[in-house]
Structure 1
Amino acid sequence: MQLGADHVLVRVPATSANLGPGFDAMGLALALYDDLEVELLASDDVVVEVEGQGAGEVPLGEEHLVVRALRHTLELAGAPRTGLRLRCVNRIPHARGLGSSSAAVVSGIVAARALLADPHVLDAAAVLRIATEFEGHPDNAAPAIRGGATLAWVSGAGPRAVDLDVDERIEATVLVPDARLATSRARGVLPAEVPHGDAAFTAGRAGLLVEALARRPELLLDATEDRLHQDYRASVMAGSAELLRALRAEGLAATISGAGPTVLVLTAGDGTGRLDAVLADLVDDVAGWRALRPGVDHDGAVARRVTGGAADGASAWGGV
């Protein structure tokens, strides 16, 4: 496959996975973005510039996650190998449960697709498949690609995803601590088996969550209850677990975002004002928590080719 562009721009949203009971399956895209600029070089050089989150911490060569995803995707498409210059402007906090690694992987894949002479050789299903190969499961990758809320699963045919309706009244607030938590550590405390009653309870709540998101946000408090993972992870994110319990005791639909330690709160109507009042008592900026209200992203990953110094039309993913 030949390359059809040498300069592309990509924007990918943050994501919050699980949403309580939707463990490893449900996710929500948030309007907090990482931006990526990729230029092909005639040399074999790889130049990576990072601004914002991860600056001074992530590798700046072939081992950079975006470079790895981009290279792998171009190789799968049979495109020739070239040098690369990447400029990454990262706004998604790292190791906080907001899908920063998925955003990096998806941005590399989508950038590679935009560079191809015929991007349609890699459809949205292929993008999800490649992202899942990197991530291990598609719960963050699906909303990062598609936007909105998604339900993702892996079958014999590979990873798949469908869109979930989100009531326009729902607002998403993320409470982000200074403390980080590696996903591997958060997963390491989960038991190999859970009681049948807990599994049945959580399955029922996951079904209710679909209805609460789409049409009845007044059910979000019950719909975000979980017995599969959050209590088990309390030992490695004590501050987040304490905040979660306090918010839910106030009637607010709070969950651990992804593997944590960020806390996600879904509100609608006067619930947002009530959340602000509760946070004024519970969250102290001096203690290292930030409250962000980014909104829900509905476009997912977007790529644009740059021609003559200007970016031409953006295209959003959908229809996996």
Structure 2
Amino acid sequence: MSVTSSITVTVPATTANLGAGFDCIGAAFTLYNQFKFTLLSDGETEITVTGKEAERVNTNIQDNLLYEAFVKLYSHLGKNPPPVKMEIALAVPLARGLGSSATAIVGGLVGANALAGEPLSQVEVMDLAIEMEGHPDNVVPALIGGCRLAATGAAGWEICDIPWHESIVPVVAIPDFELSTVEARRVLPKEISRADAIFNISHLGLLLRGLETGKQNWLQAALQDKLHQPYRKSLIQGYDDVSSAAIFAGALGMVISGAGPTLLALTDTRNAVDVVVAMASAWQELGIKAEVRSLAIDTHGAKVIKGSGE
């Protein structure tokens, strides 16, 4: 096995659920966190952070998720982690429903695997990532890119690629307030009716075909959900105003990205600019600052660039 002394891992932001795909669908977007790992010949591990919200990331190794993932892979190999310098460059907003924690988990695991000479396959790294995160919807697309459906099979996780039609443009509206995943989980009902279960099953099927074909009337119906969004929307100030503005501007529909509070609209290339402006204006009228931008699907997932010592 070859060993490298310095590598950089770039990991995309992700959205999860896409409405009816609660806890099983995720997609990678063209927005990235970057993690550089440099082996140290002696001394202790150190962590530095740059980028927006850098001051909010804990650089103590006992409380840093990137380092926790790094250590997990070495522990899985039965080895002690080497001292390493970790340089984090942030672009994915923290605690906004765009998979920032998934980027850290995937970045740490992929970085450790690369420095160790890649003893684990992508599937083995994926299994460790799902174990750490607790569910697959963010970490799977962060690792392998694209839009993915994850389900348990007889021998483990089965990952299905979901084709994303080139005409569909994702627009993310990221407000300057947070919503904790714990709170977003707390408001969900412990039981649902058979009617709601049937509703989501049918809409999930329609979502898969709508994403593949780009058929707009299918997507307009498919983005509805009865498992999580009716309960979580009350936690997001201005949800109805932003949704109405996005649809009036030409969006096919709007969903909560992950646990929120980021909102995700799907539109086509003709209306993307209008939807961006409309969503930003709706929140601005409520006195809420928001970053709104159109993105694209990242098809590669985590990328590794090796440095010296190959």
Give the TM-score, by structure 2 length. 0.92
**Aligned equivalents of 1:4 and 1:137: distance in 2?**
31
Shift of 1:279: 3.4
Which residue type is aligned with residue 24 of structure 1?
D
Compared with structure 1, are the counterparts of its residues 217 and 88 closer, same or farther at alpha carbon in structure 2 (3 Å cutoff)?
Answer: farther
Compared with structure 1, are the counterparts of its residues 86 and 249 closer, same or farther at alpha carbon in structure 2 (3 Å cutoff)?
Answer: same
Shift of 1:191: 0.5
Of 252-261 and 242-251, the range deviating more from structure 2: 242-251
- Tell whether the 8 Å contact from 2:254 to 2:263 is kept in structure 1 after alignment: yes
Q: Report Cα offsets for 1:25-62 as digits up to 9, x if no partner.
A: 11111000000100111224111001124422222132
Shift of 1:146: 1.2
1:299 equivalent in structure 2: 300
Q: Report Cα offsets for 1:146-190 as digits up to 9, x if no partner.
A: 111010123453333121111111111100000001111101100
Q: Secondary structure at the match of 1:227?
A: coil
Compared with structure 1, are the counterparts of its residues 249 and 200 closer, same or farther at alpha carbon in structure 2 (3 Å cutoff)?
Answer: farther
1:113 equivalent in structure 2: 113
Which residue type is aligned with residue 294 of structure 1?
L
Which residue type is aligned with residue 230 of structure 2?
D
- Tell whether the 8 Å contact from 1:110 to 1:127 is kept in structure 2 after alignment: yes
Compared with structure 1, are the counterparts of its residues 25 and 156 closer, same or farther at alpha carbon in structure 2 (3 Å cutoff)?
Answer: same
Compared with structure 1, are the counterparts of its residues 105 and 281 closer, same or farther at alpha carbon in structure 2 (3 Å cutoff)?
Answer: closer
**Aligned equivalents of 1:189 and 1:6: distance in 2?**
46
**Aligned equivalents of 2:90 and 2:159: distance in 1?**
26
2:177 equivalent in structure 1: 179
**Aligned equivalents of 2:89 and 2:190: distance in 1?**
38
Which residue type is aligned with residue 161 of structure 1?
I
1:27-38 aligned within 5 A = 27-38=26-37
Extract unaligned runs of 5+ from structure 2.
none
The yes-or-no answer on 1:157 pairing with 2:155 is: yes
Compared with structure 1, are the counterparts of its residues 280 and 130 closer, same or farther at alpha carbon in structure 2 (3 Å cutoff)?
Answer: closer
Shift of 1:236: 1.8
1:149-298 aligned within 5 A = 149-218=147-216, 219-248=218-247, 252=251, 253-276=253-276, 278-279=278-279, 281-284=281-284, 287-298=288-299
**Aligned equivalents of 1:52 and 1:114: distance in 2?**
24
Q: Secondary structure at the match of 2:84?
A: strand
Shift of 1:78: 3.3
Shift of 1:227: 0.9
Counterpart selection for 1:139 from 118, 137, 140: 137
Of 211-220 and 193-202, the range deviating more from structure 2: 211-220
Compared with structure 1, are the counterparts of its residues 251 and 206 closer, same or farther at alpha carbon in structure 2 (3 Å cutoff)?
Answer: farther
Which residue type is aligned with residue 235 of structure 2?
V
Compared with structure 1, are the counterparts of its residues 30 and 94 closer, same or farther at alpha carbon in structure 2 (3 Å cutoff)?
Answer: same
Root-mean-square deviation (CA, aligned residues, Å) is 2.0
Which residue type is aligned with residue 220 of structure 2?
L
Q: Secondary structure at the match of 1:307?
A: coil
Compared with structure 1, are the counterparts of its residues 217 and 274 closer, same or farther at alpha carbon in structure 2 (3 Å cutoff)?
Answer: farther
Q: Secondary structure at the match of 1:287?
A: coil
**Aligned equivalents of 1:53 and 1:127: distance in 2?**
28
Give the TM-score, by structure 1 length. 0.89
- Tell whether the 8 Å contact from 1:53 to 1:94 is kept in structure 2 after alignment: no
- Tell whether the 8 Å contact from 1:46 to 1:61 is kept in structure 2 after alignment: no
Shift of 1:249: 6.3
1:318 equivalent in structure 2: none
**Aligned equivalents of 2:100 and 2:264: distance in 1?**
15
Q: Percent identity?
A: 35
1:130 equivalent in structure 2: 128
Which residue type is aligned with residue 19 of structure 1?
L
Q: Secondary structure at the match of 2:265?
A: strand
1:15 equivalent in structure 2: 14
Which residue type is aligned with residue 162 of structure 2?
L
Q: Report Cα offsets for 1:225-275 as digits up to 9, x if no partner.
A: 111100111232232354235534666221000000000011124332542
Shift of 1:203: 1.0
Compared with structure 1, are the counterparts of its residues 134 and 32 closer, same or farther at alpha carbon in structure 2 (3 Å cutoff)?
Answer: same
1:61-76 aligned within 5 A = 61-62=60-61, 63-76=63-76
1:84 equivalent in structure 2: 84
